[in-house]
Chains A and B, each alone.
Chain A
Amino acid sequence: MGMREDLERIREEALEAIDSAASEQELEPVRIRYSGKKGALTAILKMMGKLSAEERPVMGQFANEVRAQIETKLGERFETLRALALEAKLKAESLDVTMPGKAPAPGYRHPLTTTIADVRRVFESMGFQTVEGPEVELAYYNFDALNTSADHPARDPQDTFYITDDVVLRTQTSSVQIRTMQGKEPPIRVIAPGRVYRNDDLDATHSPLFHQIEGLLIDRGVRMSDLKGYLEVFAQSIFGAETRVRFRPHHFPFTEPSAEMDVSCFACGGAGCRLCKGEGWIEILGCGMVHPNVLRACDINPEVYSGFAFGMGVERIAMLRYKIDEIRKFYDNDLRFLSQFNG
């Protein structure tokens, strides 16, 4: 048996073994067996010394050719097997992307809080400070200082909860106006969200407790046109940039002139629909120029300062925005209700 035959046999065996290795793990022993330091080729080359001087270079060249062939083949095979292995792995790892995602259970914001937060954001961005006042309030702050005389019907126990003759559950956040004006010099810009109370049973449309947001701006030279301007910005921020506003004359004891503000119906754009009862307008808030008697009660000179105030019902706005049918839903706190307000 000659060396050439041995080399040819090794080459044949090696190439066959390489081809038949099905994985990198199977191929590695093949590599060691044929091309490793102690492999078959090395063993043969060690016998090179026994050859004649004429044969040696010829055999040497042939042996190198065989080694190169085997190593090239090994390299290619390794690459192929790696690619196959990756392909198989990725295939095995593929997922059913239609299975449900794993979300941490979120907490939901109460729609009243969201509404208050949205309104706050609008006014805070215009320099208003959010303040709070007591819910159990002196009748003086809730009525007298707001130009609501002792025999005004609003003070009737059928409407107002009384703690004592001169302490009530506030019926309006307007009481915070007085506390603010008595506590600081103009210029003043505040909004006061909070709970107010009326002597009504809880049903679909009434609640003994609801939320209001009061706003107040006092400075030198504030005009009624400014009231319109600020509230238009508010309406367009909350109900959309296309919203139009309408001011109707009205009466409140603590503003003069007074107005109610309507916004163009955000459901139909003003054409008339069920939400706006065909009117095209939806009543949103009451407002007006702060009554001079109110300013005087707070030691602010109405000859020098003027300002405007407004008050809106949070439940009303939330009911309109989210198309909620009953006010008491806000206070049931059923998760099936709360979890709808997820954005």
Chain B
Amino acid sequence: MKLSMNWLNSLVPYGYEPKKYIADMTMSGSKVETLDYLGAEIENVVVGRVTQMERHPDSDHLWVCQIDVGAGEDIQIITGAQNVHVGDLVPAALHDSHLPGDVHIKKGKLRGLPSNGMLCSYKELGLTEHDVPGAYEDGILILGDTLTAEELAAAVPGRDIREVLGFDDWVVDFEITPNRPDCLSMIGLARESAVTYDIKYVPETPVVRGGAGDIGEWLRVRVEEPKLCPRYTARVVKNVKIAPSPKWMRDRLRACGVRPINNIVDITNYVMLEYGQPMHSFDYACLDGAEIVVRRAREGEPMSTLDDQERKLDAEMLVIADAKKPVGIAGVMGGANSEITDGTKMVVFESANFNGTSIRLTSRRLGMRTESSGRYEMGLDSQNTLPALERACELVELLGAGEVCDGIIDIDNSGYQPTVIKFEPERINRFIGIDIPKEDMLHWFDLLGFRMDGENIVIPSWRMDVEQFADIAEEVARFYGYDNIPTTLFGGATRYTPMPRIEFDDRIRDIFYALGYSEAQTLSFSGQKILDRVLIPQDSPLRSAVVITNPLSEDMSMLRTLMLPSILDVTARNYNMKNDSLRLYELGSVYTPSETEKLPNERKILSAAAYGGVDFYDIKGAIETLADGLRIQNLSFRAKRDNPSYHPGRCAEVYCGDDYVGVFGQVHPKVLENYNVSGEIYAVELEVEALYNNRGGIVEYEPLAKFPAISRDIAVVCAEEVTAAEIEACIREGAGKLLESVHLFDVYRGAQLGDGKKSLAYTFTMRDRARSLTDEDADGAMKRILKLLASRTGAELRA
């Protein structure tokens, strides 16, 4: 909502300083978006009087003018315009002046003669023909063409043109929150300003003389949908004389961003700005049957609106109709068929209250949002219709734009009852944390227009946002000043509450950072084509996803059911950006529809991906370190040959006992082709919940053994098919319960071993808590191990 500070000053006079004003209003609750000086682009342009004119000796169209600019001595300005005469008052841009559009005027010579500035057209001043009715379009703006005699008298030579043409005004653009539709008006903002500056402000009550006959002879109104139109008021104006509205009105409209049209239309716009109540005017001559009916549109009913668009209406939309046809879409826009024209002789003013939701839906369905519909959507005060209507008629009389008929049509189904709230000053003080006398509160209530009725506060109709105690407390807090409220720290019982699930996530992050993995955050959206890229079969359950009904795009049309595409996408992006190696992880969610619940299951997945100097066993090691750090005891790995996204020979599933935890391995080369990656990428997807369920408890300290350990290396040669797990099992069994640890430290394949053979070398360590072990103990274990290896795997000691 744009506020003209000149207009404000006429409602609530005060020596406002614009910058301080916006700061003060911000702190009392009216948020300011911008503050602009209307004449900011115009500088050093004054009123000039043409005292002398001669043709330029070297030109057949240039005029050499002597201009009185109030400086004592006339200055010479050359113009090419042909509509200037001696005695005219004109805008004169002096040497070193500025005009809109970053135009800088300096003195110079035109065909050899000096010109000390420029005479301006209205366009050069940033005006349109609506702003200066009567002015000649293709020439210099002759002030006498558009100003009244009274206005002209003030336009003395040398006066700043901004003061003469309505540019001398500050405009504040307020962001009005949805709870304060009353502030979409000059009166509403004037009231807020008045309370902010501790001024009593009561808007004037409009007075209408009337006397042009009774309205009943001319118009009947019927409201068929009282729920959608809680109140409808109308008056009739006869003997209308369409003309431009006066300059003061045009200036205010322009400051508030509304284009002046003619007196009748300008009055409706002016009242909307002043009262916040949208108004409409119909040309009475276009109404069939001397009747207005507020009804639903018929399905498919056509109508062309004021913007010359053909609209198709439906039965959900409310229209203003005459006996035969719709003449306006209620609260949104009038019809072209009843538009005010230069020939309009008689007018019906409408000031109505419509249901906000209905207007919003209509406006959305038609794809048209207007000043009017935007206001109705917020829900307007049903008690404001009548004052606004009266004000419009008062202005008609003031402007001499017509004669107002007696009588008002007022169909009131609003059932309005004022809100009454108990006044509890002590509770307000306690709630805010202040201690101020109740008289202060009562003073603010009075300024706000709140009325006291005994111990109760009666809320005015325009403050529909004030419903209960907390709302009253807010009014007190606002005008006491949020800044003046002390800062306190509520005591109460504070104690640390464990949050094991959250802290488990933190632990996972810590471990992955320590492993050299950086954290990614990817968007949770997905799409069927994204699942294609990681080769998920069409019949996979992963294809069944939470689908967004109003998605941004196909690839963001559902929530992800799988983390792999997300982490691969960012990994591939890094790869193709030539970041030479990468370890990346994300702790993100996947979403799967539930068959029984309205809401889907949201599961946290630890996903990771890496390339550059990593192999399968680095990734496996990372998972083992993670499990170790989470004190998981029962981790195991099983080869997985048929996961479509992974290399069939380099993929394993992870289990904790019987719980499935996830999958990892080298991403299938065909998948990577879809991401334009030619190298190897390894990926991990682990279910955080499964990890959490298998996590270890608090560490229980185990006393350190007093006796030293004994270690042996063992290198065996076996067939390629024999797995490390099989060899290790033999070592564990052979060493028995004295075994402390076993580590694979070398794998070798070579010509000496022969084709299809490999050598694995292990270190194993044994310890007895009760004694020092001897060589015999170790040798015995070694013998048992070799025997087991030979019988179970065919492995032999490497020579």
Instruction: Report A's interface with B, CB cutoff 8 A.
Output: 104-110, 112-113, 117, 124, 126-127, 129-132, 134-138, 150-153, 156-157, 161-164, 166-167, 169, 187, 189, 195, 199, 201-202, 207-209, 217, 219, 221-226, 228-230, 232-233, 246-251, 253, 256-259, 289, 291-292, 302, 306, 330-336, 338-339
Structural contact, A217 and B496, CB atoms closer than 8 A: no
Question: Does B228 reach chain A (CB closer than 8 Å)?
Answer: no
Evaluate contact between B550 and A161: CB separation under 8 angstroms.
yes
- On chain B, the residues within 8 Å of A161 by CB distance are 548-551
Report B457-475 residues with CB < 8 Å from chain A CB.
Answer: 468-471, 473-474
Q: Are B490 and A134 in contact (CB under 8 A)?
A: no
Of the residues B432, B506, B515, B518, contact of A225 by C-beta under 8 Å: B432
Which B residues are in CB contact (< 8 Å) with A257? 432, 470, 473-474, 477-478
Top 9 nearest A-B pairs by Cβ distance? A225-B433, A127-B494, A249-B29, A223-B433, A257-B474, A251-B177, A226-B490, A151-B357, A107-B513
Asked if A335 and B516 make an inter-chain contact with CB atoms under 8 angstroms apart, the answer reads: no
Closest B residue to A220 using CB positions: B492
| B726 interface residue per 8 A CB criterion | no
Q: Is B559 an interface residue (CB 8 A)?
A: yes
| A219 and B31 contacting across the interface, CB-CB below 8 Å | no
- The answer to whether A339 touches B477 (Cβ under 8 A) is no
Chain A residue with minimal CB distance to B585? A107
Could you say which residues of chain A place their CB within 8 Å of the CB of B514?
107
**Is residue B499 within 8 Å, beta carbon to beta carbon, of the partner chain?**
yes
Asked whether A208 and B556 contact (CB < 8 A) given A134-B599, A163-B549, A166-B598, the answer is yes
**Do the beta carbons of A187 and B548 come within 8 Å of each other?**
no
- Beyond contacts A224-B433, A248-B31, A338-B518: 10 other A-B pairs, Cβ-Cβ < 8 A, are A106-B513, A130-B499, A138-B598, A202-B523, A222-B490, A226-B433, A249-B27, A250-B29, A253-B179, A338-B519
Considering the chains assembled together, what is the distance between the CA atoms of A110 and B550 in angstroms? 30
- Interface contact A131-B548, CB-CB below 8 Å: no
B570 A132 Cβ-Cβ under 8 A: no
Indicate if the CB atoms of A251 and B433 lie closer than 8 Å: no
CA A336 – CA B522 in complex, angstroms?
Answer: 16
Closest-CB distance, A164 to chain B (whole angstroms): 7
In the complex, what residue of chain A is closest to B469 when comparing beta carbons? A292
- Given contact pairs A224-B485, A225-B433, A334-B579, A230 touches B490 in the complex (Cβ within 8 A): yes
Decide if A136 touches B483 in the complex (CB within 8 Å). Answer: no
- Residues of the A chain whose Cβ atoms lie less than 8 Å from the Cβ of B431: 223-224, 289, 306
B547: Cβ under 8 A from any A Cβ: yes
Q: How far is the CA of A335 from the CA of B522 in the complex (A)?
A: 14
Q: Which partner residue on chain B sits nearest A150 by CB separation?
A: B357
Given contacts A129-B499, A163-B546, contact A187 B493 (CB under 8 A): yes
Would you mind naming 14 contact pairs between A and B with Cβ atoms under 8 Å apart? A107-B516, A107-B519, A110-B518, A132-B502, A167-B598, A187-B492, A187-B493, A222-B490, A228-B485, A248-B29, A249-B27, A250-B29, A331-B522, A332-B573
B483 A246 Cβ-Cβ under 8 A: yes
Are the C-beta atoms of B28 and A162 separated by less than 8 Å? no
**Which A residues are in CB contact (< 8 Å) with B368?**
none
Q: CA A134 – CA B512 in complex, angstroms?
A: 25
Given contact pairs A136-B600, A138-B598, A251-B179, A104 touches B548 in the complex (Cβ within 8 A): no
A136 touching B433 by the CB < 8 A rule?
A: no
Chain B positions within 8 Å of A156 at CB level: 364
| Pair A217/B490 contact, Cβ less than 8 Å | yes
Query: Does B583 have its Cβ within 8 Å of any Cβ on chain A?
Result: yes
In the bound complex, what is the Cα–Cα distance between A209 and B524 (angstroms)?
A: 8
Partner of B599, one of A110, A138, A331: A138
Minimum CB–CB distance for B445 against chain A, Å: 16
Task: Determine whether the beta carbon of A209 is less than 8 Å from that of B577.
Answer: no
- Distance, CA A162 to CA B473, complexed state (A): 36
Residue of B nearest to A137 (CB): B599
Decide: A256 near B478, CB < 8 A? Known: A127-B496, A334-B579: no
Q: Which residues of B contact A126 (CB under 8 A)?
A: 494
A230 to B489, CA, bound (A): 6
- Which residues of the other chain, B, contact A228 by a CB distance below 8 angstroms? 482, 485-488
The answer to whether A331 touches B523 (Cβ under 8 A) is: yes
Q: Is B589 an interface residue (CB 8 A)?
A: yes
- Closest A residue, CB atoms, query B569: A333
Residues of chain A lying within 8 A (CB to CB) of residue B487: 225, 228-229, 232
Q: Give the nearest-CB partner of A258 in chain B.
A: B474
Q: How far is the CA of A183 from the CA of B168 in the complex (A)?
A: 59
By the criterion CB–CB under 8 Å, are B549 and A113 in contact?
A: no
Q: Point out the residues of chain B lying under 8 angstroms from A134, CB to CB.
A: 599, 602
Question: Is residue B356 within 8 Å, beta carbon to beta carbon, of the partner chain?
Answer: yes
Residues in chain A near residue B473, CB distance under 8 A: 224, 256-257, 289
* In the complex, B538 has a CB within 8 A of chain A: no
Whether B602 lies near A223 (C-beta < 8 A) is no
Find out whether the CB atom of A153 lies under 8 angstroms from the CB atom of B520: no
Asked if B517 CB lies within 8 Å of chain A CBs, one says yes
| Contact between B31 and A335, CB atoms less than 8 A apart | no
Considering the complex, give the chain B residue whose CB is closest to the CB of A211.
B521
CB within 8 Å for A332 and B474 given contacts A110-B519, A249-B29, A292-B469: no
CA distance A144 to B236 in the complex (A): 44
Is B521's CB under 8 angstroms from A107's CB?
A: no
Q: Please give, as numbers and ranges, the residues of chain A lying within 8 Å of B573 by CB-CB distance.
A: 332-334
Q: Which residues of A contact B574 (CB under 8 A)?
A: 333-335
B551 to A, closest residue via Cβ = A161
- B646 proximal to A (CB < 8 A): no
Q: Are B550 and A157 in contact (CB under 8 A)?
A: yes
* Residue B525, interface by CB 8 Å: yes
CA distance A167 to B552 in the complex (A): 17
Given contacts A187-B493, A225-B488, A257-B470, contact A331 B547 (CB under 8 A): no
| B584: interface (CB < 8 Å) | yes
Task: Please indicate which of the listed interface residues A156, A199, A257 has the most CB atoms of chain B within 10 Å of its own CB.
Answer: A257
B377 → chain A closest CB, angstroms: 7
Tell me which of A104, A136, A199 contacts B559 (CB under 8 A). Answer: A136
Q: Which residue of A lies closest to B434 (CB)?
A: A225
The CA of A305 and the CA of B394, in the complex, are separated in Å by 51
Please give me the residue from chain A that is nearest to B358 by CB atom.
Answer: A151
In the assembled complex, the CB of A200 is this many whole angstroms from the nearest CB of chain B, namely: 8
* Contact A162 B548, beta carbon cutoff 8 Å: yes
B737 at the interface (CB under 8 A from A): no
| Residues in B whose Cβ lies below 8 Å from that of A105 | 516, 581, 583
Which of A112, A208, A246, A249 is close to B525, meaning CB atoms less than 8 Å apart? A208
Given A208-B556, A209-B524, A223-B433, A108 and B519 contact (CB-CB distance below 8 Å)? yes
Contacts of A292 in B (CB 8 A): 468-470
Q: Is B418 an interface residue (CB 8 A)?
A: no
**Are A251 and B180 interface neighbours, CB within 8 A?**
yes
Asked if B470 contacts A195 (CB within 8 A), the reply is: no
